[in-house]
């Protein structure tokens, strides 16, 4: 595609764009697109409707459920800015209404654009889907060869981790939290990350949505490590939320940067797997 003008509604897609050397073609982003650093200087085309920075996790969970239940949008697209930027490729998703603008919001925003841009839907449920999203972006932008090379490099990193974890006598018992009030287990690609890193999390839902988990069930399982990876938050917030958790006997509490390594299905997920491997290696097992 000549004269690329890309708008990304997804932090993971933004990271992929830069990884393929297309940063100069990116003309607009979402409020969450903060990596790499140049992304933070671009016009913000979409923002959340809710004042998330002023709300507790419990309040966010309740408000989001109410808006979704009543058919209301969670994001506001700046249609005037969208028209001004004249994108010919928009990167978005239809996986999770909470994670970014989804079907209804995109359909409404497109009404203001002429000619209509190409829409690339990135809706991964697994790590293999992430590879596919990368290839699709490479194909749409004329960077397929570079996308394939990046995918091959990521696969090699996963194989190297898998070789190391094969020698572990017993996988540590893991509980990964994608939300801490109320408790939500991990879903989609994150359970795969835990498995590759050598852990065992029976609450994880590979390829599926995260769901609420009862504390009594977690205590009965008796995890040796609790990974605190609150979706939409970085390490500082994860540490704060981890400090507020009800104690789970004999469990190490490990807050991580969900935004960087877990919640965003982009190239840095390989760093997340390496991080999990290091954490699991530190867990004493009998």
What would the pLDDT profile of 224-254 be if each residue is shown by its tens digit? 999 999 999 999 999 999 999 998 999 999 9
Are 121 and 137 spatial neighbours (Cβ–Cβ below 8 Å)?
A: no
Tell which of 84, 109, 144 closes a domain.
144
DSSP character string of the chain: --S--EEES-HHHHHHHHHTT-GGGEEEEETT---SGGGGGSPEEEEESS-GGGS-HHHHHHHHHHHHHTT--SEEE-HHHHHHH--SEEEE-SS-TTTS--HHHHHHHHTT-SSPPEEEE---SSHHHHHHHHHHHHHHHT-HHHHHHHHHHHHHHHHHHHHHHTT-SSPPBEEEESEETTEE--EETHHHHHHHTT-B-TT-EETS---B--HHHHHHH--SEEEE--TT--HHHHHHHHHTSPP-TT-EEEE--HHHHTSS-STTHHHHHHHHHHHHHTS---
Q: Are residues 200 and 128 in the same domain?
A: no
Out of 28-37, 114-123, 133-142, least confident range: 114-123
Tell which of 92, 112, 144 closes a domain.
144
Q: Are residues 224 and 116 in the same domain?
A: no
- CA 156: distance to chain centroid? 21
Name residues whose C-beta falls within 8 Å of residue 10's C-beta, 6 or more positions apart in sequence: 30, 33, 91, 92, 93, 99, 100, 122, 264
Residue 95 pLDDT class (50, 70, 90 cuts) = low
Q: How many whole angstroms separate alpha carbon 135 and alpha carbon 241?
A: 36
The per-residue b/e assignment along 229-254, b for 16 or more CB within 10 angstroms, e otherwise, is bbbbbebebbeebbeebeebeebebb
Q: Are residues 264 and 175 in the same domain?
A: yes
In a domain, 101, yes or no: yes
How large is the average pLDDT for residues 107-113? 72
Are 77 and 101 spatial neighbours (Cβ–Cβ below 8 Å)?
A: yes
Q: Are residues 42 and 121 in the same domain?
A: yes
Residue 285 pLDDT class (50, 70, 90 cuts) = low
Q: Are residues 137 and 236 in the same domain?
A: no
Q: Are residues 173 and 270 in the same domain?
A: yes
In a domain, 198, yes or no: yes
Q: Are residues 172 and 118 in the same domain?
A: no
Peptide bond just before 131 cis, omega within 30 deg: no
The pLDDT value recorded for residue 169 is 81
Q: Are residues 36 and 127 in the same domain?
A: yes
Q: Are residues 222 and 175 in the same domain?
A: yes
Domain hosting 136: range is 6-144
The pLDDT value recorded for residue 53 is 85
pLDDT, tens digit (0-9, with 9 covering 90-100), for 24-52: 999 999 999 999 999 999 999 998 888 88
Q: Are residues 62 and 188 in the same domain?
A: no
Q: Are residues 15 and 124 in the same domain?
A: yes
Q: Are residues 120 and 44 in the same domain?
A: yes
In a domain, 127, yes or no: yes
CATH number of domain containing 120: 3.40.50.1980
Question: Higher model confidence: residue 192 or residue 93?
Answer: 192
In a domain, 156, yes or no: no
First to last CA, the chain: 57
Length of the chain: 286
Tell me the CA distances in angstroms from 269 to 165, 240, 262, one per residue in order. Answer: 17, 23, 6
Whether the predicted pLDDT of 103 surpasses 60: no
In a domain, 29, yes or no: yes
In a domain, 151, yes or no: no
The pLDDT value recorded for residue 104 is 61
Strand partners, 183: 180
Are 74 and 104 spatial neighbours (Cβ–Cβ below 8 Å)?
A: no
pLDDT, tens digit (0-9, with 9 covering 90-100), for 195-211: 999 999 999 999 999 99
Are 7 and 89 spatial neighbours (Cβ–Cβ below 8 Å)?
A: yes
In a domain, 53, yes or no: yes
Tell which of 109, 144, 179 closes a domain.
144
Please tell me the total count of domains within the chain.
Answer: 2
In a domain, 82, yes or no: yes
């Amino acid at each position: 595609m000549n004269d690329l003008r890309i708008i990304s509604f997804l932090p993971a897609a933004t990271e992929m764009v830069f990884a393929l050397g297309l940063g100069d073609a990116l003309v607009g982003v979402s409020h969450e697109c903060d990596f790499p650093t140049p992304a933070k200087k671009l016009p913000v085309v979409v923002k959340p409707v809710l004042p998330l920075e002023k709300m507790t996790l419990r309040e966010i969970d309740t408000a989001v459920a109410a808006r979704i239940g009543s058919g209301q949008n969670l994001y506001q697209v700046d249609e005037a800015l969208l028209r001004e930027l004249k994108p010919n490729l928009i990167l978005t998703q239809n996986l999770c209404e909470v994670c970014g603008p989804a079907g209804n919001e995109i359909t409404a925003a497109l009404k203001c654009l002429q000619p209509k841009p190409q829409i690339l839907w990135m809706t991964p449920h697994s790590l293999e889907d992430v590879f596919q999203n990368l290839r699709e972006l490479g194909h749409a932008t004329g960077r397929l060869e570079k996308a394939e090379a990046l995918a091959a490099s990521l696969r090699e990193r996963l194989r190297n981790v898998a070789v190391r974890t094969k020698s572990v006598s017993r996988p540590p018992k893991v509980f990964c939290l994608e939300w801490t009030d109320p408790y939500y287990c991990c879903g989609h690609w994150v359970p795969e990350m835990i498995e590759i890193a050598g852990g065992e999390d029976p609450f994880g839902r590979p390829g599926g949505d995260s769901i609420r988990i009862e504390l009594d069930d977690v205590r009965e399982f008796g995890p040796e490590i609790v990974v605190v990876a609150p979706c939409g938050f970085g390490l500082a917030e994860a540490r704060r939320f981890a400090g507020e958790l009800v104690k789970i006997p004999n469990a190490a509490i490990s807050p991580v940067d969900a935004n960087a390594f877990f919640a965003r299905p982009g190239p840095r997920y390989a760093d997340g797997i390496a991080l999990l491997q290091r954490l699991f290696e530190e867990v004493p097992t009998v």
